[in-house]
Structure 1
């Protein structure tokens, strides 16, 4: 049984989930711009490195709390 974590979901076209399959972390990101993207990571540090680049502070100016909530949810996976 795989454990699935919902990181955020604004609607059915914008969401991010992480599936834990043993030591493998599978991130599924659905956006209304690019459709579904799937990323596979073999460690949590690798996942967090991707997240730091994907959710850059510069992109969340004025929405720092939103970014912090996403990063905290990813850390708790």
Structure 2
């Protein structure tokens, strides 16, 4: 069984989840604009590098505060 973490969920069409599958981290990014994208990472540093490049404060309704919370949630996995 895999551990699944919901990083954020704005509604049923905008969410980010992470599944821990052994050493692999599978990120599912679902948005109403782009549909579902799946990313696989072999390490937490690789995941954080992607997240820090991928997200900006403008991506979130609550801006910088929500960006920091999202990155912290990813770090805690």
Confirm or deny a common fold (TM above 0.5): yes
Q: How many residues are matched? A: 76
What is the CA–CA distance in structure 1 between the aligned matches of 2:22 and 2:11, rounded to whole Å?
28
Offset of 1:56 from its aligned partner? 2.9
Unpaired runs of 5+ residues, structure 1, are: none
**TM-score, normalisation: structure 1:** 0.92
RMSD over aligned Cα atoms: 1.6
Partner of 1:23: 23
Residue 68 in 1 paired to residue 68 in 2? yes
Unpaired runs of 5+ residues, structure 2, are: none
Deviating runs (4+, > 2 A) in structure 1? none
